[in-house]
Structure 1
């Protein structure tokens, strides 16, 4: 007979563990943006910042660590300049493409 595992006993999934480099971070953020849930972008940037080290990203972005945590939580609506600074600190950039190229 197999042992039953309760959902509460499963470890939490942390995508930050799988973001090893700039390519991974760029692919992750692109997927979040393409899914169209604008509320997820702040949280995804927070995950990427944790993958690199929140203190390091805060310093590189010129934002206090505590402020960065607040700006990148799931229910936050960070200003675009904050998003741009974090992206630069992460070594990625946002790119706009035509949805239906001519």
Structure 2
């Protein structure tokens, strides 16, 4: 959503600066056309968020896999993995990534 707003503002300002000699109705038509591309900016923001989340979860999974590969105490590690801050759709990946990196043996992957 933020990317959409920033993109629209930048495009509107750029248009207003380049079209300052344009008559009133044409200027407003240009602003309306810029606003009509809002879905494109919304999609770009959603796509960039998905990429960031994917990279975050990949890092968390790599840390967990490294901890599992290096453990001598699987039951203790299983309890620590179960204690990771997972809350379904409300899970905050940075918290999970940081907690997974703190698992014993997770740091060297």
TM score, norm. by length of structure 2: 0.28
**Greater C-alpha Rg:** 2
TM score, norm. by length of structure 1: 0.30
Decide which structure has greater helix share.
2
